[in-house]
């Protein structure tokens, strides 16, 4: 109906489950799993499922989660109940185990189920890439980049990205991990800190004292010991409030282009956190849907097998716009996609504006000052290019 047909010569798979979307972190918590329903609904109203292989995913098994996470952490995650939540007044000294039950990572009903489905989605995506049944595999329910081996962090309990990359490493010699969420991809960086088989690159707002998680300085490029294989294989792109599409795209292409030439990855894992969009409840950047999508388009143009992960994104209508647009890029339908949200789209009124591409004026109540100077952005590019000289060619 929208001229959307199967791309010739390659396959895109979409991995999701409506089960995941039923979970709630709590009334005031910014993470809303329901944004995945809104995304799927927009993807469907544009007719995109006809152009993809659609899979309803399963829960990851304990053994699969155990490939990265510690057994004692998983055991606690399985049994922890919302009642175990430390309550400040009644229980001021109650220990918060594994960083669970605080306000960022609350214990909610069905938590383990939610985590294992997110991981199941991303593992299925990785397996389709390994078996070469998919060229691009989409897992918007994944992308939970802060989770650590023994600890929950920043709304993330299970690191589905690490689990998926571990799968890719069975087949592919080198994996490039790229993270465009507004927060630093610390959990993934840490997991692959000591290997040269994964290069991690995160673009994020960096303000150590006041913006989560506070890591990811330009100079942090992996282990300082040159004999450690991971040295120079972590790239950080620290940014300030208000970065624009034009600046971000130029930076992204210059950095990813140079990394691709030097590191020659055999597969890409791209975390597409949508909290880097203008008007995000937690984010600080001025990116439009087009600018965010341009990163996906550029990665696709490299012609490597790729997984697209979700991640942050706290203004659900914009999350759905970005991930629906990026789905259209994956299937090569972005040039034909009508800008007006289809008449019959469920939740159409929820989008406020009927366009897939709101202007900055439509996204922001007041304009956000751009605090990224051209001089600083040039310094960042120069530093990254210098780091790459240490990477084996
Ligand atoms: O998008 O949180 O700042 C991937 C992702 O990257 C903090 N957390 C920590 C450090 C001290 N705290 C504050 C505790 C706040 C607890 C509740 C919120 C509630 C309402 C509105 C905003 C927040 C919030 N929390 C904003 N930023 C935080 C960060 C965690 C950010 C995680 C980003 C996750 C999915
Ligand atoms: Ca990031
Ligand atoms: Zn984020």
Q: What is the pLDDT of residues 336-393, one digit of tens each?
A: 999 999 999 899 999 999 999 999 999 988 879 999 999 999 999 999 999 999 999 8
| Cβ within 8 Å of residue 348, ≥6 positions away | 341, 342, 354
pLDDT of 116-141, one tens digit each? 999 999 999 999 999 999 999 999 99
Q: What is the CATH number of domain 12-56+123-388?
A: 3.40.800.20
Query: Which residue CA neighbors atom 33 of ligand 1 most closely?
Result: 154
Residue 101 CB less than 6 A away from ligand 1: no
Helix (H), strand (E) at residue 175: strand 175-179
| CA-closest candidate to residue 219, choices 206, 227, 370, 228 | 206
The values of phi and psi at residue 377, to 5°, are: -65, -35
Query: Measured in angstroms, how far is the CA atom of residue 72 from the centroid of ligand 2?
Result: 29
83 C-alpha to center of ligand 2: Å?
33
What's residue 117's pLDDT?
98
Query: What end-to-end distance do the CA atoms of the chain give, in Å?
Result: 47
Token readout for 384 is 């990254």
The pLDDT of residue 1: 59
The verdict on the CB of residue 283 being under 6 Å from ligand 1 is no
242: left (phi over 0), alpha (psi -120 to 50) or beta: left
Is the separation of the CB atoms in 308 and 139 below 8 Å?
yes
Q: How far is the CA of 184 from the centre of ligand 2 (A)?
A: 4
The b/e string for 194-230 (b: 16+ C-beta within 10 A; e otherwise) is: ebbbbbbbbbbbbeeeebbbebbebeebbeeeeeeeb
Ligand 1 atom closest to residue 282's alpha carbon, by position in its atom list = 26
pLDDT of 82:
84
Q: How far is CA 354 from CA 35, 326, 350, in A?
A: 17, 18, 9
Mutate to test the pocket of ligand 1, among 204, 282, 283, 315 (most ligand atoms within 8 A of CB): 282
Cα 358 to averaged position of ligand 2 atoms, centre (Å): 23
Report the nearest atom of ligand 1 relative to the CA of 313: 1
User: Which atom of ligand 1 is closest in space to residue 212's alpha carbon?
Assistant: 3
317 lines ligand 1 (CB under 6 A): no
Nearest to 58 by CA among 101, 12, 121, 4: 121
Please give the mean pLDDT across all residues of the chain: 95
What pLDDT does residue 263 have?
98
For the chain, which ranges sit under pLDDT 70?
A: 1-2, 86-95
Ligand 2 centroid from CA 311, angstroms:
10
The tens digit of pLDDT for each residue in 86-125 reads 655 555 555 678 999 999 999 999 999 999 999 999 999 9
Can you give the pLDDT at residue 273?
Answer: 99
Q: Which ligand has its closest atom nearest to the C-alpha of 311? A: 1
Answer yes or no: is the C-beta of 185 below 6 A from any ligand 1 atom.
no
Cα of 332 vs centre of ligand 3, distance in Å, is: 27
Q: Is ipTM over 0.95? A: yes
The active-site residue out of 145, 184, 233, 292 is 184
Task: Give the environment of ion ligand 2: residues with CB less than 5 A.
Answer: 179, 181, 185, 202, 204
User: What CA–CA distance (Å, rounded) separates 279 from 324?
Assistant: 17
Ligand nearest to the CA of 212: 1
Known catalytic residue: 232? no
Nearest CA to ligand 1 atom 23: 30
Q: Is the beta carbon of 14 within 6 A of some atom in ligand 1?
A: no
The rounded distance, in Å, linking the Cα atoms of 390 and 385 is 10
Ligand 1 pocket test, candidate residues 36, 88, 154, 313, most atoms within 8 A of CB: 154
238 backbone dihedrals φ, ψ, rounded to 5°? -80, 130
């Amino acid at each position: 109906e929208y001229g959307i047909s199967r791309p010739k010569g390659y396959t895109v798979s979409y991995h999701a489950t409506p089960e995941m979307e039923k979970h709630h972190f709590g009334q005031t918590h910014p993470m809303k799993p329901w944004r995945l329903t809104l995304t799927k609904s927009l993807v469907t109203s544009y007719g995109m499922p006809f152009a993809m292989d659609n899979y309803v995913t399963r829960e990851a098994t304990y053994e699969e989660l155990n490939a990265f996470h510690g057994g004692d952490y998983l055991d606690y995650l399985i049994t922890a109940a919302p009642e175990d939540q430390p309550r400040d007044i009644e229980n001021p000294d109650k220990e918060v185990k594994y960083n669970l039950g605080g306000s960022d990572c609350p214990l909610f009903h069905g938590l383990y189920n939610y985590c294992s489905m997110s991981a199941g989605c991303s593992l299925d995506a990785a397996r389709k890439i390994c078996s070469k049944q998919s060229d691009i595999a989409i897992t918007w329910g994944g992308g939970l980049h802060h989770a650590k081996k023994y600890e929950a962090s920043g709304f993330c309990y299970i690191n589905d990205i690490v689990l998926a990359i571990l799968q890719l490493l069975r087949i592919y010699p080198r994996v490039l991990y790229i993270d465009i969420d507004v927060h630093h991809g610390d959990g993934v960086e840490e997991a692959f800190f000591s290997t040269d088989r994964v290069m991690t690159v995160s673009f994020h707002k960096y303000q150590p004292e006041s913006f989560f998680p506070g890591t990811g300085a330009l100079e942090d490029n992996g282990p300082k010991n040159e004999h450690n294989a991971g040295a120079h294989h972590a790239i950080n792109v620290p940014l300030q409030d208000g970065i624009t599409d034009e600046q971000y795209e130029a930076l992204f292409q210059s950095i990813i282009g140079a990394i691709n030439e030097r590191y020659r990855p055999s597969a890409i894992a791209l975390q597409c956190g949508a909290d880097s969009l203008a008007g995000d409840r937690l984010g600080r950047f001025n990116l439009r849907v087009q600018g965010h999508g341009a990163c996906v388009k550029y990665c696709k143009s490299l012609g490597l097998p790729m997984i697209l992960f979700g991640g942050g994104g706290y203004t659900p209508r914009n999350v759905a716009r970005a991930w629906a647009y990026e789905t259209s890029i994956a299937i090569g339908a972005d040039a034909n996609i009508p800008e007006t949200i289809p008449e019959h789209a469920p939740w159409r009124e929820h989008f406020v504006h009927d366009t897939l591409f709101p202007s900055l004026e439509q996204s922001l109540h007041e304009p956000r000052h751009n605090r990224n100077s051209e001089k600083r952005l040039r310094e960042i590019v120069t530093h990254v290019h210098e780091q790459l000289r240490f990477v084996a060619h």
